[in-house]
Amino acid sequence: MTQKTKRKSGWGGILTAALPGAILLIAGFILARPYILKAFGLALKTVVKR
Amino acid sequence: MSTNRKTRRSPGRAARGISWALAAALSLMLTFALAGAAALYVIQSQGLHERVASNEELIRQETEWARDKIRDLAEEYGFEADRTLAVLDREMLARRNLAGLTWIRDTVNSGKPKQGPKVDNGEIEEMLSGLLRFPNLKDQNQINQAYGDATAGIVRIVGNATFFFRSDLTDLGLEKIRNYADIRSFLNLVNRLPLILGILAAIIAGLMILLVAGDPREALKYAGCSLGGAGILTAISGVLIVLLDLPGAAAAANGRLATMIRLIGQELLLPLILTVVLLLAAYGVCLTFYSRRNRRPAAVQSGTEGAAAEMPAAEGIAAEMPAAETSEPEEPAAEGTLSEGTISEGTPSDETSSDETPSEEISSEETPSEGRTEK
């Protein structure tokens, strides 16, 4: 009787480590993008000469 | 014959769960550390500043902008614009660009307001002395007056072409902030942020080792996945920053600044790709060591760890076995054969995944493996 060995491909682990951060980054990007661009534009208009 | 049994426990479900959570946190922390390191590289790197300052496209844009402005000024004061355009020397513009970038770096480093970059306006005035002509003016006083105003105007135009920040406003802003906060200590903190995050990452890696029963090799799996995860997150961050389109946003304020930001982005592209590749390679190396350790036959492992003194040849066998394994590294065990990663007949274990490291649970007596037959 032999039990079949279940070997992880390795992608499961890396995705487990990366997924929470990726969700955080992408969600943060989607939510904060307009504000970042607005703040960036305002700062440039104030500090940068045309 | 040694009957040395291994007493090392496999990490429990909770320990593995916490380790995965730490791995996720470590990935994110490494990504932030890399982002901080990239920001510091942009601010501090003299080489990057020199390459951006002497970029042909940037200088061409500055020259075109200054040429238009000088022509407008020529119409106003009545001097010959074409002669004076020789003042827009490529080397001089590159030097002024570098002075501007150095001013930003010094301001960030010191946190103290400075009155603009240090540039030599004398060289422009010297060049203009032989170039400015006012054919429409006859009166010497008028010529002198126009000459002074035009020279000051051209100096201002060349200055604005290469350095387009309102240094008076940044000075004022920095002074205001200084009233409320210690900018210097904050900048020190920002400068050391990658180092601090690196130390935190090392602490998390140490926690992982503790959680997996003090086994550094078991922790390789989690640390490797953290590094690979950081690689993926770094790549995602790079894509998101490209999608943010900062040059496009800056173009509305100043086209030359947009070019400068785009050049800095291009300078960061290769280090970013290399970092992602290195992190994924580190992940591969960690996983290779981790899975090789798990695939090593139990008898050879116990022979090398437990009875090395009794069996000097076991070291050699242990060294030879992985080489034999590499010929079929990922092949699942054939039915009915006793290969690596396969639980032998009669081994009381329900855990069959490689995560559970079956080789650790099996003593040298219980496993009739190659280690014994080769002896």
B119-148: per-residue pLDDT in tens? Answer: 888 888 888 887 888 887 888 888 888 888
Is the CB of A1 inside 8 Å of chain B's CB atoms?
A: yes
The pLDDT of B260-270, averaged and rounded, is 94
Contact present, B364 and B302 (Cβ < 8 Å): yes
What's chain A's average pLDDT? 81
Please choose, from the candidates B143, B283, B293, the residue with its C-alpha nearest in 3D space to the C-alpha of residue B217: B293
- Which range scores top for mean pLDDT: B39-48, B104-113, B139-148? B39-48
Searching chain B, which residue's CA lies closest to the CA of residue A22? B233
Q: Residue A10: inside a domain, yes or no?
A: no
Residue B178 backbone dihedrals phi, psi, to 5 degrees: -60, -25
Q: Residue A48: inside a domain, yes or no?
A: yes
DSSP one-letter string for B331-343: PPPPTT---TTPP
Q: Residue A46: inside a domain, yes or no?
A: yes
| pLDDT > 70 fraction of chain B, expressed in percent and rounded | 74
Domain encompassing residue A37: 26-50
Q: Residue A6: inside a domain, yes or no?
A: no
Contact present, B171 and B114 (Cβ < 8 Å): yes
Q: Is B353 helix (H, G, I), strand (E, B) or coil?
A: strand
Residue A6 backbone dihedrals phi, psi, to 5 degrees: -100, 110
* Nearest CB neighbour to A44, from listed B232, B250, B343: B250
Distance of CA B113 to the CA centre of its chain: 29
Q: Residue A8: inside a domain, yes or no?
A: no
Pairwise CB contact (< 8 Å): A46 & B166: yes
Residues B360 and B301: their CA atoms lie apart, in Å, by 9
Query: What was the pLDDT predicted at A10?
Result: 61
Q: Residue A4: inside a domain, yes or no?
A: no
* Nearest CB neighbour to A5, from listed B24, B283, B332: B332
The pLDDT of B106-122, averaged and rounded, is 79
List the single best residue of A4, A6, A7, A38 to mutate versus B (max B Cβ within 10 A): A7
Tokens 């500090």 -> residue: A47
Q: Residue A5: inside a domain, yes or no?
A: no
More confident residue, B152 or A47: B152
Number of domains within chain A: 1
* Nearest CB neighbour to A48, from listed B164, B226, B230: B164
Q: And the tokens for A21?
A: 């951060």
Q: Quick check: pTM over 0.80?
A: no
Query: What was the pLDDT predicted at B296?
Result: 58
- Inter-chain CB pairs, A–B, below 8 Å: 132
Searching chain A, which residue's CA lies closest to the CA of residue B22? A17
Of the candidate ranges B175-179, B193-197, B265-269, the one whose mean pLDDT is the lowest: B175-179
Q: Residue A41: inside a domain, yes or no?
A: yes
pLDDT of B227 higher than 80: yes
Query: What was the pLDDT predicted at B48?
Result: 94
